[in-house]
Each structure stands twice: as C-alpha cells, then as structure tokens.
Amino acid sequence: MRYDLNLLPIFVALMEERSVTRAAARLGMTQPALSNALARLRTTLQDPLFIRERYGIQPTPIALELAPVITEALAKLDDAVLGQQDFDPAVAARTFVIAPNGYVEFILVPAIVARLQTVAPGIKITLTPYGNDLAETGVVSGTTAMVLGRIVDPPDNLVVQHLMDEGLACVVRADHPQIGDRISRAQFERLKHVNVVPPGRLRAGLFQALAQQKLRREVAVSVTHFLAVPEMVAVTEYCATLPRLICRRLAHDTRLKVLPTPVDLGTFPVEMAWHVRYRHDPAHRWLRALIGAVAREISAPD
C-alpha cells in the first residue's frame, strides 16, 4: 500500500494541538486545506481519528495507538535527512524562537545574543514568554525551538539538558540602618521583603527553600520582574532574596549591597528543553552547544 507521507506531519500536529485551527496555523495551512487532508487521513487509516468536542478535538483509540509510531517514524526521517546537511554558522541565516523565563532573559540571553553577533551574525533570536505551562510556550508542539529555565514534569517528546545550578543571595540598601556586612536569621525575619513572582517555576523553588529551612519572610510588595527590585530596595529598608548571578550584577550598584542568605537555601537548576524532532538538526544542535558554553562561562566562580 502506498502512503502520502505529507499527511503524517498533519496527523502529529493535530495530536499535539488538539485543535484544527491551531494545527492549521502551525503548519501554515488554511483550515479547509487541513480538513481536506484530515479526510484523506481518515480514508487511508480507516478510522475517524479525531472527534470534535466543545473545546477542540479528541483522538480516537486508534489515533492514540498510532501516534507514537508515526512520531518515531518522522523523527527517524528527520535524523536521516538533517544529519546529511551542513551548517556553517558564519554564513547561516535562520531565526530561532526561544522561550526563556525571566531569570534566563536577564542573565543568559544578552550573553547569548552577544556571542551570536560575533560568530553567527545571520542567526536571529525571537523571544516568547515562558509561562506556567510548557505547552503554552510552543516547545511541546515544536513551534518554539527551546525553552530555558526550570523544566518540571516534561512530556516524553522533550529532551532536557542541565545547563547550570544557581544559588541565592540577599540584597538590601547600602546604608541600611539595621544591616551591616551580614544578615542574621532574626534580622531576615524582622525585615519586610520584596518578592519576585515571575511566571513559571522559580517562584515555587524559592518558597520551597524557605519552607524547608523554616525561614519566615514578611512580603511587603511583590513585583513581576527582577529589574524592578533594585529601584524598590534602593529607596526602602526592604530586603530581596534573588538568584546569585542577578545579585552579582546588582553588586555594581552603589546604592545596594549584596549579602549571603542567613541560612543555606540550596540551589536550583537552570535547564534547556527542546522537541525530539530537533535532536539532530545541525543548526539547532550548534545553538544548543553555544548556549551550554555561555551558561558555563556565566556561572563560573568569580
């Protein structure tokens, strides 16, 4: 029996998006064209494959059974074809969509862009938000090249790579009337705090670390980005607990001083994840290596 291989990526897109509209947008097709392709798929596979429901489509048992087989087959085809392609970063022209969390956008992305400007000027980066749900970033469907940050409970079609471990430190006003060169547990618990609540998993990591050490913290104000913290702390007697590399940047601000946390709050991982279909893409593999190198350099001890 002869198969139309062009239908297989459409099947995968429908499985991952669970929406004809989103699948069509992802594939750059009109909805009528995708519906026509779905009709051919149903004829070929002799099954409805997807059933319309109020909020999208749901796969039939046959579709669920076929999904891993088709996904693996396409991945092997990608590996075979992409593995034969050459990639020269000095002359390549390509745009990558990346979803960094707020921490990575502040700490890693500028260094990544600076490195690209030097070694691969034709490679462009477009950032998309990394929210609470990996699926929202587009990495689960493969429309986003990779996510950078804290990766929790990734689905089977994502590859996760550890980039570095990050610690925590405290920041207060340089002339704080109560705090000298160190901050004690009692002082930490008496102070009011600026809390950063970015979307994603970093928030949970800090709250869990505080809870494990039974360290109380009275939050006076919550902000949504690390960039708001120095201005907030510089004009108050508040304290902020932030990732170590962000504190390293803030240490250059003469209005502020960086102190060790009163107790060991441990570390949290910074990771990179991407769809399995990019595993052997030469350009993607090269970019992953560059990001890994930048992360190692950034996180090296002073």
* pTM score of the predicted model: 0.73
pLDDT per position as a tens digit, 168-204: 999 999 999 999 999 999 999 999 999 988 654 445 6
Percentage of residues of the chain with pLDDT beyond 90:
50
Q: Within the chain, where are the H helices?
A: 7-17, 20-27, 31-45, 61-82, 102-107, 109-119, 134-137, 185-190, 202-212, 228-234, 244-250, 282-299
pLDDT per position as a tens digit, 248-293: 999 999 999 999 999 999 998 999 999 988 888 889 999 999 999 9
CATH architecture type of domain 94-164+270-299: 3-Layer(aba) Sandwich (3.40)
Is 7-82 assigned to CATH 3.40.50.11270?
no
Query: Where in the chain are all domains bearing CATH 3.40.190.10?
Result: 94-164+270-299, 168-266
Q: What whole-number distance in Å separates Cα of residue 241 and Cα of residue 72? A: 44
List all residues 6 or more positions away from 223 whose beta carbon is below 8 Å from its beta carbon: 194, 195, 196, 197, 229, 232
What fold characterizes domain 168-266? D-Maltodextrin-Binding Protein; domain 2 (3.40.190)
Instruction: Give the confidence band of 133 by pLDDT, cuts at 50, 70, 90.
Output: confident
State the Cα torsion 193-182-212-298 to the nearest 10°: 90
Query: Where in the chain are all domains bearing CATH 1.10.10.10?
Result: 7-82
Q: What whole-number distance in Å separates Cα of residue 206 and Cα of residue 246? A: 14
pLDDT per position as a tens digit, 54-112: 778 899 999 998 888 887 777 777 666 655 556 889 998 889 999 999 899 999 999 99
